[in-house]
Amino acid sequence: MKLTLLSFFIISFFHFSHSSPQKFTSILSFGNSLADTGNYLITGAVAFPYVGHLPYGITYFHHPTGRFSDGRLVVDFIAESQDLPLLPPYLASNKNFRQGANFAVAGATALDPAFFQEIGIGGTLWTNYSLSTQLRWFDELKPSLCKTPQECSEYFKKSLVLVGEIGGNDYNFPLVAGKSLAEVTLFVPKVVQTIAEAIEVNKAILNFTIFYSLGHIVEHDVGVVQRLTERGAMNLLVPGNLPIGCLPLYLTLFATMDKEDYDDRNWCLKKLNNFARYHNELLKSSIDQLRKKHPQARIIYADYYGAFLRFTHSPRHFGELSLI
Ligand SMILES: *[C@@H]1O[C@H](CO)[C@@H](O)[C@H](O)[C@H]1NC(C)=O
Ligand SMILES: *[C@@H]1O[C@H](CO)[C@@H](O)[C@H](O)[C@H]1NC(C)=O
């Protein structure tokens, strides 16, 4: 009883001490289908028209919105946690982007389409709006958000910027098109380099940017974001790739009869998970370099990989329905 009361007071104390942190006043988001709130659908959704129909949107919006989900996305939950409106897709007309813009497009790659054309699979891409296009859209929008350096510094100090996950599709399209894992592995340094450049592309913003992660949101750790804001938000959080060997797409495409190809615990394809970890290791070391180069920024790696594995360990914990 005493313990319970004590816990109650401790919890109340933390609630109290965290009740007045400054919230973000805007959110900017770059990425792919994990963060797209409608851009891809607006572009015509030729490669994946299903997203324009139920069950997409069924559990929350009750109509398709272009999200690749039946409900809300991580970026929506972040916006709600900051008392901000859900991010309008940048390609939507007549929207006010003052409190946020979402540049993410489903299917987007980190590398430009030319790269995929060179390796002969340009036709399989879902979209040409790669990371560099999204960064260009941001440059176009920026003058409407702030003008003088001081105004921009004020704006971005209170702005949350999400970049990623991005890069996963750079491997998905070639693998699905039949390129070997060995060949795709050769792309990894180039993809990681492109992401690192995107992090640096607007150095003035780097100082005030936070890259936020699925992993933290899954842990309902929005308090972290708030604490970072209070400190001036000189922080970046860069998400890595998912354990793609656990994705139904790859479990289907690369299904084998050899038990050795699967890990015992999650029954995921080991080779593909090793590959995702290779990408993440390179990303982490490139983040280390950015840290040295920009000591004023705190750059944090977001462990999407680990967060996702928790879904496969204990799906019921995360709302999996019983199939009876
Ligand atoms: C991307 O651009 C190329 C070259 O302009 C074009 O042929 C292709 O249809 C475009 N792909 C998509 C998905 O828009
Ligand atoms: C980041 O902020 C620091 C301190 O205000 C400043 O000295 C530095 O030039 C800024 N870096 C960039 C890339 O704008």
What are φ and ψ of residue 236, in 5° steps? Answer: -125, 140
Domain count, the chain: 1
Measuring from atom 1 of ligand 1, which residue has the nearest CA? 128
- Report how far ligand 1's centroid is from the alpha carbon of 206 (Å): 31
Q: How far apart are CA 173 and CA 178, in angstroms?
A: 9
Give a yes or no: residue 320 inside a domain.
Answer: no
Average pLDDT per block of 10 residues along the chain, 324 residues long: 34 37 81 94 95 94 95 87 94 91 94 95 96 88 85 79 85 95 94 82 46 33 33 52 92 94 94 94 83 70 84 77 48
| Backbone φ, ψ for residue 35 (5° rounding) | -125, -5
Q: Is 232 in the pocket of ligand 2 (CB under 6 A)?
A: no
Q: Whose CA is nearest to atom 7 of ligand 2?
A: 296
User: Residue 43 in contact with residue 92, Cβ under 8 Å?
Assistant: no
Residue 310 included in any domain? yes
The residue contributing the CA closest to ligand 2 atom 9 is 204
Predicted structure pTM score: 0.80
pLDDT value at position 298?
Answer: 61
Kindly identify the ligand whose nearest atom is closest to the C-alpha of 294: 2
Residue 190's pLDDT is 93
Give the CATH number of the domain where residue 230 resides.
Answer: 3.40.50
Structural Rg of the chain based on CA atoms: 20
CA of 294 to the centre of ligand 2 (A): 8
How far is the CA of 14 from the CAs of 8, 19, 20, 22, 307, in angstroms? 10, 8, 11, 16, 25
The dihedral through the CA atoms of 269, 272, 278, 284 has a sign that is negative
Phi-psi region of 83 (alpha: psi -120 to 50; beta: other; left: phi over 0): left
Atom 3 (ligand 1) nearest CA? 128
Backbone φ and ψ for 256, nearest 5 degrees, come out as: -135, 165
204 lines ligand 2 (CB under 6 A): yes
Inter-residue contact 206 to 181 (CB < 8 Å): no
Q: What is the pLDDT of residue 95?
A: 85
Distance from Cα 208 to the centre of ligand 2, integer Å? 10
The closest residue, in CA terms, to atom 10 on ligand 1 is 128
SS3 content of the chain, % helix, strand, coil (to 5): 50, 10, 45
pLDDT at 321: 57
* Ligand 2 atom, smallest distance to 207 CA: 1
- pLDDT at residue 240, as a whole number: 82
Q: What is d(CA 128, CA 150) in angstroms, rounded to the nearest whole number?
A: 34
- On the 0-12 / 13-18 / 19+ scale of CB atoms within 10 A, 233 is buried
CA atoms within 13 A on the CB side of 85: 11
Angle of helix 188-200 relative to helix 168-176, nearest 10 degrees, comes to 150
CA of 196 to the centre of ligand 2 (A): 18
Identify whether 322 is part of a domain. no
The pLDDT of residue 43? 96
User: What range defines the domain where residue 263 resides?
Assistant: 5-13+24-315
**Ligand (nearest to CA of 116):** 1
The pLDDT of residue 213 is 34
- Find out whether the beta carbon of 128 lies less than 6 Å from any atom of ligand 1: yes
Q: Which stretches of the chain are assigned E, i.e. beta strand? A: 26-30, 100-102, 159-163, 235-239, 298-302
For residue 27, which of 219, 209, 223, 237 has the smallest C-alpha distance?
Answer: 209
Ligand 2 near 209 CB (within 6 A): no
